Structure 1
Amino acid sequence: MKTFKFLKTLGILAILPFALLSCDPDEEPIVEETSPTIDLAVETISFSVVKTSDFVGVATITGSIKNIADNFVSGTGQQKVYLYERSLGTPTDQPGNLVAERSFTNLAAGETLEVSFSRAWNASSPAEGEFPPEYILYIGYDPDIYIDGNEHNDDTNTSNDELLESGMAINDLFR
């Protein structure tokens, strides 16, 4: 029994110097890095009008996206912001006509990006006044962006990547 206690004590004494060496108070603690939270969000579609008469003018449609999380860092051609105009009668499973797009690579936390399109508008015509088009703003990503090995461009919340607004609000600007 004394031999066992002696060996146990000897084992502890043998380990003690290594334990003391690994507990350097000046050594920086090991901190595990966490994955970034990446979330680009469609923020708004806004309208403005420059009137040329009571019911006619030039309407500008502006879409805005915002980075609401950590810095987005990506490669060229991997993402774009698209603005579509969908006229009455276009099936809802189709986006309509692409009227503006903008490529980007990086978007810092809190930074916004805009895309806009201007067109003639007649609030008294059936095509714009009575049945105005809808506008769709969409953030599109390259299909293999999630497997490119870059976690700084993997959007964690795609439910806020699209917004639809009726052009009826443009007609309200003529009132």
Structure 2
Amino acid sequence: MTTTIISSTNRSNSSTYKLSQYYQKRLREKGVDAGILSLTQLPENIIESDLYNKRSEAFKPIQDIVSQTDKFLFIIPEYNGSFPGVLKVFMDACNFPESFYDKKAALVGLSSGKYGNIRGIDHFTGVCHYMHLQVMQLKIHIGSINKEFDADNNLFQKDTVQFTEEQMDKFILF
């Protein structure tokens, strides 16, 4: 079973990517080898080159990763009360329906504010359902993300560690 963590922003040096690396490390320690697909890897001209059934050579390796993935873990930052537009562009650029149809996903929201992208995760859940992506019930929302990492980029707040561990354990069994 192939697992891919989607770092759902194209912002470089983001907390989203840092959290994706944390999940990757913890999943590896639990026996799951998960790759990270960062949306910083998307072609710059994805809107012109890869939407509406056109495919660029630059997008092909990304599509291959998505096609080979059985389980996705989306790490999704809050952008203007929802999820990043680049995440929707990514989903739209992938082959439909086979990229996501009847595959599984877990969702993690994060924000610099206190609610951890609750609305964005709800919005993205609707997109997932439309694409027949099975979404795990336990969704995590991490607010004030800038206060969650220690000097080694590990989560250290007791409740956040507890909830993320529970989610990862359930994701492994999902």
TM-score (normalizing by structure 1): 0.25
More helix, by proportion: 2
- Structure of greater Rg: 1
More strand, by proportion: 1
TM-score (normalizing by structure 2): 0.25
Q: Whose RCO is larger (CA < 8 A, sep 6+)?
A: 1
